[in-house]
Amino acid sequence: MKKDIILAGVGGQGILTVAAILGTAAIKRGMNLKQAEVHGMSQRGGDVQSHLRLSDETIWSDLIPFGSADMILSVEPLEALRYLPYLKDDGWIITNSTPFKNIPNYPSEEDIYAEIKKIPNYVLLNADAKAKEQNASRSMNIVVLGAAIKHLGFSSEEIAEAIKTIFAPKGDAIVEANLRALQAGVDN
Amino acid sequence: MPKLMLLGDEALAQGALDAGISGFYGYPGTPSTEIIEYAQRSKQAEENKIHRTWSSNEKTALETALGMSALGKRAMVTMKHVGLNVAADPFMNSAVTGASGGLIVAVADDPSMHSSQNEQDSRYYGHFAMLPVLEPSNQQECYDMAFYGFELSEKFHIPVLLRLTTRLAHSRSGITRRNPLPQKEMKKPEDMFQFMLLPAIARKKYQHHLSLQKDFLAESENSAYNIYTAKRKNTKLGIITTGLAYNYLREAYHGDEIPYPVLKISQYPLPEKQIHQLYATCDELLVVEEGMPFAEEMIKGFAFPGLKPVHGRLDGYLPRAGELNPNLVAKALSLPDTIGRPVPEIVVGRPPALCVGCPHSDTFLSLNEVMADYGRGNVFSDIGCYTLGFMPPYNSINSCVDMGASITMAKGAADSGLFPAVAVIGDSTFCHSGITGLLDCVYDKANVMIIILDNSTTAMTGGQNYTGYGKLEDICLGIGVEKEHIRVFVPLKKNYPEIIQIYKEELAYNGVSVVIARRECIQTLKKKNKLETPE
């Protein structure tokens, strides 16, 4: 198996946690991984992205070539569109529909959703609302991950295991909240 | 041992820990910060009492590491590329004194300037100092080269420059560890002339350094990190890659065998023997390197008629500026390019901005009220989050050049007759390189107002400690700023009347004023609150 995933969002929205969970699950399977992150100036409320590459074969480049990503997994709808040049023709966009508006010229939501719907394979879900329903309002990113995993070939059991590993140091309550968020995304 | 998933920075730190390092020294700077941060979190480092606190700046860090090396222990100094400008004096001279215990100067370059003022390439510094340079191409090499770098340093008693670039420093992959080595014993230098660069001694030591050059070349030509794959049918082209550019080449061929001979370079000086062989074998050369065209310029020299073409960044096969990616390398090889859908027109930029609740925001907005009478162009600033004060809605500052330049440029402006001349500098930046500039101001009784933004941390790089924390007033007093012209306020909306009054009074004073805006960084405050109140 080989999956190239662009993770997108705004600094502080938790895309690196999503990367860590997917990475942990992939390593458990014995896959190789490369994950390029963004640090520094760009994290200050700006757009951030991470290139996550998982493969049974050797992975060479830390960056995903344009036109070859299997998925754009975004925790913010405008950010999902920013990386379209990376997506391959039959790739998936899985994105939260809740906008993060920290710029004065943020486009209208209708226009953003219309652009997302032009992509043949897309999932557009209100991850903020679903996380809130589960009393896990800080786990919006995990809801989006839940909606993504079947298109990545991972089972919810594998991802749940990885969530337990990653969040264990933060205590049972946080692990449980994230497992509920994951399931809400899977059931979407 | 199971594989560890580490950033290139972290792999280098873990490698150094396993290779028996005794001290890390450095100043935070993207993309190098995570080397020391990793060592600071490491239980192994704690158990072995490895030094790993931050230094005031890159110069003090490099000198301290040199001192540790002089006593026979292994040391590493870390910095971003522009930090090596600050540390250039000890760097150039340490090449002549040489080292004793293994000394690695780890510098992370930032091509494409993701978080930097320029994209200078540290390999030129290595060449300038005539020292070996290591340039890992992947995370495992980052780990392994810590061992090799220390060995190479101790073999020739010289510092070794290790160059990282953003996409390696900040990319994660699996690392296989080796068995850890013990630290070296402390021992005084046997040669009391070694670190004594009096001219008569320096001349001899420089001759010795020159005599080592052939050995450094031989090391490169025999290095396991410089790999020449000669036996390929198609010799129309020969490809040279340096550092992580090799990965993009392999990606361009989807991991399949490359049809041309390839020389993969990760150790300098450039391996002349293999380059000569490649040149003799092939009709043309293509040089693919992350950063500036260092190898390309060296190989190409002057383009005399009759010489074979050498392609790369200098003739447009690859862009002259900016970092590489797999697509650029594929295009340079005339391979099919791939691209997805265009970015829709409605997508607007989301530039970085000061955080909601950032103390700098209140300092700038209140300053704007006072400066409105003078128009723009009077406020010199510096390197940090607050550089974003240039952007709307603030538009408060008009310079960002190098660490500490706010104070000294404001002084030069005041010397030219500008009034008012204001400097805005962060607390950590002030302790890095602002103190000496302030001393210049006091010495000349310059008419400047210096605002120190004290958010109690090095915020831009993620919240590191700094050496002058809690001492700012004492430092200013000690330098000779008059006590009544060291003013402190808390940058909050409700305090604007008081803040504006302070600004006005200090602008009216014909001399050096230091105004300290003190409120903790909203990010480090959030982190602390999270730790104190678990959900």
**Confidence band of A12 (pLDDT split at 50, 70, 90):** confident
Q: Does A168 touch chain B (CB under 8 A)?
A: no
The tokens for B416 are 């030219």
Stretch B303-324: mean pLDDT: 93
Q: Which CATH number fits domain B359-525: 3.40.718.10, 3.40.640.10, 3.40.50.970, 3.40.50.10470?
A: 3.40.50.970
Residues 110-149 of A with CB under 8 A from B: 111-112, 115, 119
User: What does the pLDDT read at residue B306?
Assistant: 83
The predicted structure's pLDDT at residue A42? 62
- pLDDT confidence bin for B304, thresholds 50/70/90: confident
CB atoms within 10 A of CB A121: 14
Is residue B535 scored above 60 in pLDDT?
no
Residue B109 phi, psi dihedral angles, 5° rounding: -85, 155
Confidence (pLDDT) at A82: 97
Q: Looking at the predicted structure, is the pLDDT value of residue A117 above 80?
A: yes
pLDDT (average), residues B284-311? 93
Chain segment B33-56, per-residue pLDDT in tens: 999 999 999 999 999 999 999 999
- Average pLDDT (B249-253) is 97
pLDDT band at B528 (very low <50, low <70, confident <90, very high): confident
Architecture of the domain spanning B227-332: 3-Layer(aba) Sandwich (3.40)
Substitution target from A63, A93, A118 for chain B, most B beta carbons within 10 A:
A63
3-state secondary structure of B20: coil
- Across the range A123-149, mean pLDDT stands at 97
* Domain span at A61: 2-186
Domain count, chain A: 1
Mean pLDDT of B145-150: 98
For residue B30, which amino acid is it?
T
Terminal Cα-to-Cα distance of chain A (whole angstroms)? 25
Does pLDDT of B533 surpass 60? no
Picking from A21, A35, A44, A172 by the largest number of B CB atoms within 10 A of its own CB, the best residue to mutate is: A44
B28-37, B181-190, B235-244, B521-530: the lowest-pLDDT one: B521-530
CATH 3.30.43.10 fits B4-211, yes or no: no
| Domains B4-211 and B359-525 belong to one CATH topology | yes
* Whether the predicted pLDDT of A181 surpasses 70: yes
User: Euclidean distance between the first and final Cα of chain B, in Å?
Assistant: 35
User: Would the CB atoms of A33 and B173 count as touching at under 8 Å?
Assistant: yes
Which neighbouring-strand residues pair with B77?
Answer: B25, B105
Give this prediction's pTM: 0.95
Per-residue confidence band for B532, with pLDDT thresholds at 50, 70 and 90: low
- Give the Cβ contact number of residue B214 at 10 Å: 10
Cα separation, B519 vs B363, in Å, equals 10
CB spacing of A87 vs B167 below 8 angstroms: no
- Mean pLDDT estimate for chain B: 96
The pLDDT assigned to B529 comes to 86
Q: Domain extents for chain B?
A: 4-211, 227-332, 359-525
CATH classification of the domain holding A55: 3.40.920.10
How many CB pairs below 8 Å do chains A and B form together?
A: 161
B507, B512, B514, B515 alpha-carbon torsion, rounded to 10°: 0
Q: How confident is the model at residue B305 (pLDDT cuts 50, 70, 90)?
A: confident
pLDDT at residue B481 greater than cutoff 90: yes
The alpha-carbon gap from B326 to the nearest alpha carbon of chain A, in Å, equals 6
Distance of CA B251 to the CA centre of its chain: 27
pLDDT single digits (tens) A26-55: 999 999 999 998 876 666 778 999 999 999
Bridge partners of A35, per DSSP, are A52, B172
Rounded to whole angstroms, the Cα distance separating B509 from B490 reads 21
* B171-175 and A32-36 beta bridge pairing: antiparallel
Task: Report pLDDT digits (tens) over B78-107.
Answer: 999 999 999 999 999 999 999 999 999 999
Residue B534 clears pLDDT 50, i.e. is over it? no
Of B34, B171, B352, which is closest to A46 when you measure between CB atoms? B352
pLDDT at residue B73 in the model: 98
Mean pLDDT within B370-376: 95
Q: How far apart are CA A28 and CA A155, in angstroms?
A: 13
Q: Is pLDDT of B246 > 70?
A: yes
Confidence class for position B531, pLDDT limits 50, 70, 90:
low
Q: Is the pLDDT of residue B108 over 90?
A: yes
**Residues B150, B130: Cα–Cα separation, whole Å:** 17
